Amino acid sequence: MKIATWNVNSVRTRLPRVVSWLERRQPDVVCLQETKVVDESFPLAEIEALGYHCLLNGQKSYNGVAILSRTEPQDVVRLLPGDELDAEHRMLIAVIEGIRIVNIYAPNGGDVGLPRYAFKLEWYRRLREFLNVSFDPSENLLICGDFNVAPDDRDVWDPQRWRGKILFSEPEKEALRNLVSWGLQDALRLHKSEGGLYTFWDYRAGAFHRGWGLRIDHILVTESLARRCADVEIDRNERKGEKPSDHAPVIATLE
DNA sequence: ATGGCTACTCCTAGTAGA
């Protein structure tokens, strides 16, 4: 079973690449972030034609998440407790093939100290509290998406330059560690310990070509899924070519 | 790296992303 996460940075702009990638990689579940489209305008027909159910939690212009799956999703949750009525659409949960899939697009934070930064840390706190009261670490649960946090020095191209900066500040790393401490493991690190495994490269200044990347897209799994996890791959080829997203897909293979 | 790109919008300039 292949479960993927991909921040596509607009599903409409990225549609040709998403379609060809689905045809080529044949994932069973795909969590998309930054779809940037209301549900009525999601390219449903094109994705369903490939044999996927589409579960949507979209929004105009910003944010928006979706779960594509070969089989029908169940037990859907869309709202994180504490969200306002006009909440940013950043989370979507469904049970697929006996696995609870939590798709998240964590706030970026802007810059350290800004109101959006405080919102990011508070959002992480609410997500952890939601796990506490809703689920159990003994179940088959997987959280994936764009976390907008690089966990440690191996995950940024220049740790000295990134120290204390947005995406790599101590409070952000602590917020991610606090989430993980609920009972999760970083699936990629079950298999690979080296640095330089990035999932995002800025569009500017030839960052991809120069190796200026960050690992901010993650797949976290509970113990029962960690035992089934045979491999995790970052599909960095998807960052190349015509009109790429600035993020590469991450794919976990479960036995 | 500090913005050199990309995508969005009641669209040709301002905002946000990471």
**A200: Cβ under 7 Å from strand B?**
yes
Residues of A involved in catalysis:
105, 146
Distance A63 CA to B9 C1' (A): 14
Contacting residues for A99 by C-beta, under 8 A, at least 6 apart: A3, A140, A141, A142, A225, A254
**Residue A127: strand, helix, or coil:** helix
CB neighbour burial string for A181-209, b if at least 16 within 10 angstroms, e if fewer:
ebbbbbbbbbeeeeeebbbbbeeeeebbe
Q: Which residue is nearest to nucleotide B6 (CA to C1')?
A: A203
pLDDT for A86: 81
What's residue A85's pLDDT?
Answer: 79
- C-alpha to C-alpha distance for A218 and A199, rounded to whole angstroms: 9
Hey, which residues does A39 pair with through a beta bridge? none
Per-residue pLDDT of chain A (255 residues; tens, 9 = 90+): 999 999 999 999 999 999 999 999 999 999 999 999 999 999 999 999 999 999 999 999 999 999 999 999 999 999 999 988 789 999 999 999 999 999 999 999 999 999 999 999 999 999 999 999 999 999 999 999 999 999 999 999 999 999 999 999 999 999 999 999 999 999 999 999 999 999 999 999 999 999 999 999 999 999 999 999 999 999 999 999 999 999 999 999 999
Can you give the CATH number for the domain in which A219 is found?
3.60.10.10
Place of tokens 């407790």: A81
Backbone angles phi, psi at A12, to 5 degrees: -75, -45
**How far is it, in rounded angstroms, from Cα A200 to Cα A146?**
10
Tokens of A81: 């407790």
- Asked if residues A187 and A200 have their Cβ atoms less than 8 Å apart, the reply is no
User: Which pLDDT value is given to residue A68?
Assistant: 98
Q: Give the count of domains, chain A.
A: 1
User: Is the CB of residue A148 inside 7 Å of nucleic acid strand B?
Assistant: yes
Strand B lies under 7 A from the Cβ of residue A167 = yes
User: Which nucleotide does the CA of A203 lie closest to, via C1'?
Assistant: B5
Residue A194 per-residue DSSP state: -
Q: What pLDDT is stored for residue A52 in this prediction? A: 98
pLDDT score at A140: 98
Nucleotide nearest to A199 (CA to C1'): B18
Give residue A61's pLDDT. Answer: 96
- Name the phi and psi angles at A145, rounded to 5: 145, -165
Considering the entire predicted model, what is its pTM?
0.97
What is the domain range of residue A190?
2-254
